[in-house]
């Protein structure tokens, strides 16, 4: 039977934790009864340097309830890091992990489907939200803009998927090869490959407390996502340079033709055109440097080149 760890990052979540633990314990219990997961499955609460009583609560729950495990980070490192800390710890202890938020906005009733997909062979199962009705117009439009922009930048991410996902031990082992510090899990997980599945669910509102993702954090998250996965902004510099160069080239040609046909070309035209041309040359040169920087960036990341799913080979005859 597979041992499941539910990995829950918590930052100042004292208001929601008691209810969250109650609901998750109940859920795990029902899943054990159904024979979906092993009896010794756990809820791993990761305290991301909370300033309130979150860790005290986790300690208390751990004493009262054998299903609850706790992991404490030395200080606040942000949702993504807390999640990775939890996943990497769980990797050594279990067969499957499911990451979810402490506020249970993600419908925990679909966890069964996650595990069923795993049993069908999926190494990663993405939770995808079917509707965004419960979000404010602001959050909905910024999120849509974000997914659109990411895809334009050539980053492969699953639409409307946050960090509610199942990852098998195998997927986590591959994942641990991605050693980058600027973490954007939603971008890395699709790079791993293997068979994946999608489970849709409706996202509820936070049942207590408030969002720990203010606009500032959201923006820096989006920025991280783009700059960690795409060097397109660098090649855009070259494109811009070429465009400006083309425009000023056409201008120059027009001016020369006018001159040859006996027309008059004002002095300012030559000044403007030479400024543009100089700008174009600089931009193209910058873009060229950017191309090398982009490659260096990829090398520095040192991402795994491939993951092997299976090898068919007869053992060598003695
Ligand atoms: N979180 C965290 N560290 C942080 C910020 C958030 O571990 O610095 C956790 C938080 O406790 C929650 C999850 O990340 O479990 C998602 O945060 P939240 O629900 O506030 O985000 P939202 O749902 O509003 O996007
Ligand atoms: Mg939330």
Instruction: Tell me the pLDDT band of 142, cut-offs 50, 70 and 90.
Output: confident
Pocket flag, ligand 1, residue 207 (CB < 6 Å): no
- 183 or 240: whose pLDDT is higher? 240
The predicted pLDDT at position 223 comes to: 84
Does residue 227 form part of some domain?
no
**Three-state SS at 6:** strand
The tens digit of pLDDT for each residue in 255-302 reads 999 999 998 888 999 999 999 999 999 999 999 999 999 999 989 999
Same-domain status, 138 and 13: yes
236 φ, ψ (degrees, to nearest 5): -65, -30
Token pair recorded at residue 209:
């407390």
Q: Are residues 52 and 170 in the same domain?
A: yes
Q: 251 and 187, same structural domain?
A: no
165-215 pLDDT, tens per residue? 999 999 999 999 998 888 888 889 999 999 999 999 988 777 777 777 778
pLDDT for the residue numbered 133: 67
Whether 164 lines ligand 1, by a CB cut-off of 6 Å, is: no
Residue 223 included in any domain: no
> Which helix (DSSP H) or strand (DSSP E) does residue 245 occupy?
helix 232-260
142: Cβ below 6 Å to ligand 1?
A: no
Task: Give the ligand whose atoms come closest to the C-alpha of residue 14.
Answer: 1
Residue 134 has pLDDT above 70, yes or no: no
Are both 207 and 265 inside the same structural domain?
no
Distance 124 CA to ligand 1 centre (A): 22
């Amino acid at each position: 039977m597979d041992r499941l760890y539910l990995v829950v990052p918590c930052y100042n979540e004292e208001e929601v934790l008691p209810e969250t633990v109650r609901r998750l314990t109940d859920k795990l219990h029902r899943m054990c009864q159904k024979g979906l997961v092993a009896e010794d499955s756990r809820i791993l609460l990761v305290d991301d340097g909370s300033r309130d009583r979150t860790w005290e609560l986790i300690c208390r729950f751990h004493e009262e309830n054998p299903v609850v495990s706790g992991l404490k980070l030395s200080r606040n490192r942000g949702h993504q890091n807390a999640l990775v800390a939890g996943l990497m710890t769980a990797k050594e202890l279990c067969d499957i992990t499911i990451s979810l938020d402490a506020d249970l906005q993600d419908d925990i009733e679909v966890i069964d489907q996650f595990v069923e997909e795993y049993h069908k062979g999926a190494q990663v199962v993405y939770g995808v939200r079917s509707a965004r009705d419960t979000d404010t117009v602001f959050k909905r439009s910024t999120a849509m803009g974000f997914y659109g922009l990411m895809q334009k930048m050539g980053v492969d991410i699953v639409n409307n998927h946050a960090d509610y996902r199942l990852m098998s031990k195998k997927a986590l082992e591959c994942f641990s090869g991605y050693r980058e510090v600027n973490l954007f899990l939603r971008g890395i997980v699709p790079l791993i490959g293997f068979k994946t599945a999608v489970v849709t669910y409706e996202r509820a509102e936070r049942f207590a407390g408030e969002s720990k993702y203010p606009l500032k954090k959201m923006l820096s998250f989006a920025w991280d996502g783009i700059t960690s996965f795409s060097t397109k902004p660098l090649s855009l510099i070259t494109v811009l340079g070429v465009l400006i160069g083309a425009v000023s080239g056409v201008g120059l040609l027009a001016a020369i033709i006018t001159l040859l046909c006996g027309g008059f070309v004002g002095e300012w035209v030559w000044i403007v055109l030479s400024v543009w041309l100089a700008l174009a040359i600089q931009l193209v040169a910058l873009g060229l440097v950017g191309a090398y920087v982009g490659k260096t960036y990829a090398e520095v990341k040192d991402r795994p080149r491939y993951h092997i799913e299976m090898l068919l080979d007869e053992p060598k005859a003695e």
